Amino acid sequence: MDADGTQITDIARDEPKGAAPEEDPKAEYDASLQKRLQVINVVAFVVCMIITFSADKITGTTLGQMGREYGRTPKIAVAGWALGIWVLIYILIITLIVYQALPNKNAESRNNELIYRQIKYVLAVNLILNGLWLVLTRINSSFGLAISTLDIIFMDVTCIYMMMKSTRAKLDMFQIIVMRVMFTLYAGWVNAATIINITNFLASVGMKDPSAGLNESTWAVIILYVALAIYIVAAFMERNPLFGALYLYVLIAIRAKQTAYPDIQSNSLIAMIILIVALIGITGLSVHEKMNGKATKGLFY
């Protein structure tokens, strides 16, 4: 008791001396989850690569043979060089897989919240879907194309989900490249592949037959503009011009491939001009919001 009669509480008496601090169950759970995800992501990537490089042997059919055996000449198809973007995407994925597998002490600036608590199992699921798609799309039947279409749709959804998470997270420059840029390139390209897959499926079930109401050329032009609208709206809503730029890349590749189809040539050129104008506007808006502290998401966030 002090001089004025106020009782002093001896807190130390209420706590045993030398008592160990209580462990945080949440921290323990997060550490366990992180280690589990690090292993799962590595395994999923290895499985994806094994399936990817074994797809021809597993099915006995290459993509080129599939098209010839079907007798299909889809109006929406890209030049072979366009597939080279997979090299860049896989290099970035490999970098991310290695980076996420590092212990915390070797990656102090890593956004663990984004990788292990937001993206969580989605990356592993996406990688497995990626590998399976290359097998399913080689099954020479409408059923095979239907299953591969469902697969790539789910793959596209997971890509977009990861992209959206990365464009709303605070990242350093390295993580911007291996996550935000990579997920954007991945989502943009897989989105285009999804559209092409759907087009091939529709052609396989008779949509290329004029008796279906519209000929294949008309369907192809409609799909080009629907895809254009999707890319522009998504790029604007996400403040991510790089996502929209992927469709520009696809349109260039389509024009390079389909030189025999004047309707595809002319309409893809029109779509390119519209897209370029839209991307300039979206980029300007994104930079303006960034400079004025109003950005809440996007490529430049």
Per-residue pLDDT tens over the stretch 164-179: 999 999 999 999 999 9
Would residue 187 count as lying in a domain? yes
- For the chain, give the percent of residues with pLDDT over 70: 82
Which percentage of the chain shows pLDDT scores above 90? 67
Handedness of CA 179, 88, 225, 220 (dihedral sign): negative
Judge whether 156 lies within some domain. yes
Q: What is the dihedral of CA 211, 213, 216, 217, to 10 degrees?
A: 130
**Model confidence at 206: pLDDT above 70:** no
Task: Give the best-scoring range by mean pLDDT among 22-26, 69-73, 143-147.
Answer: 143-147
Q: How confident is the model at residue 22 (pLDDT cuts 50, 70, 90)?
A: low
pLDDT of 10 > 50? The answer is no
User: HSE-up of 166 (CA within 13 Å, CB side)?
Assistant: 30
| Residue 71 banded pLDDT, cuts 50, 70, 90 | very low
The sign one gets for the Cα dihedral 155, 187, 204, 218 is: positive
Residue 2 is assigned to a structural domain of this protein: no
Q: What is the mean pLDDT of residues 80-108?
A: 96
> Is residue 27 in a domain?
no
pLDDT tens-digit readout, 24-36: 555 555 889 999 9
Please indicate, yes or no, if residue 25 is contained in any of the structural domains: no
- Residue 179 is predicted with a pLDDT of 97
* Domain around 226: 35-291
* Least confident window among 53-67, 133-147, 215-229: 53-67
Number of separate domains in the chain: 1
Q: Looking at residue 165, what is its pLDDT?
A: 97
In this prediction, residue 213 carries a pLDDT of 59
CA angle 9, 13, 14 (to 5 degrees): 85
